[in-house]
Amino acid sequence: MREVVVAANWKMHTTPADAGALARTIAARTREPGVTRVICPPYVCLAAVGAALAEADADVAVGAQNVHHELAGAYTGEISAPMLAGLATWVIIGHSERRRDAAETDELIGQKLGRALEAGLRPILCVGEQLAEREAGLATEVVDRQLRGALAGRDPVATRTGGMVIAYEPVWAIGTGRNATGADAAAMADAIRTSVGALGWGDGASEIPVLYGGSVTSTNIDTFFAEPSIDGALVGGASLKPDEMAGIVARAGMTARARDLAG
């Protein structure tokens, strides 16, 4: 039975002065058995969020939004995986905004994934196509290429043991007003597991949690959790709103309970 995960990506929002209070509020309003909760604040808020959650709800994990592909060096402004030790237990890898704004390549993302796993950080590997690629019928091909770039040559057992999660982010559905359907997400989740299976994972690919990320809200989350192949959500803007997070995690809890009864 695959893990149900809801991860909050706060992006470039909050400060050390207010992040802890927001994390405590979200933690208090999202206590759902069977749901793995992760909050990913900006780097400068990791310590504040970690301290707040240690007091309020230690079951909520802390994640970073990015990590560098080298362990150390002359990389001004960057953060390496060893630097995150004690501050985070998860990390987002290859988010669409990193691919777009920092020109991160599939190869670079693969290197980051390796560093995260070496440091004991659970990676949320993000993949997804642009609008033009979907309209050209290339969505599955693009996501397959991204997965191969990140995972080719990587030991499937070690990667699975490291707790990797994959988030499907259709870039055309992020902040555009256009929404993917549950069927869109489910079809891509199946394609993701097929691609991973072809990389030497075999049946182990079926065990990978696949999250949906793309303008997720408490209003539209039901259509995604209604799909058996979707195991959670990577939440952007809505993750800054306790009401929204409460609704999303409550729906995730329903899925977790249904799976527990069925399993």
Q: For residues 78 and 115, is the Cβ–Cβ distance under 8 A? A: no
Structure tokens at 86: 């004690």
How far apart CA 203 and CA 18 sit, in angstroms, is: 44
User: Measured between alpha carbons, how far is residue 18 from residues 85, 159, 198 in Å?
Assistant: 23, 35, 45
Environment class of 142 (CB within 10 Å of its CB; exposed 0-12, middle 13-18, buried 19+): middle
* Backbone torsions φ then ψ of 214, nearest 5 degrees: 165, 85
Helix, strand, coil % over all residues of the chain, rounded to 5: 50, 15, 35
HEC letters along 174-230: CCCCCCCCHHHHHHHHHHHHHHHHHHHHHHHHHHCCEEECCCCCCCCHHHHHCCCCC
Residues marked as catalytic:
95, 169
Q: For residues 11 and 41, is the Cβ–Cβ distance under 8 A? A: no
Structure tokens at 167: 């988030």
Q: For residues 116 and 91, is the Cβ–Cβ distance under 8 A? A: yes
* Backbone torsions φ then ψ of 240, nearest 5 degrees: -90, -5
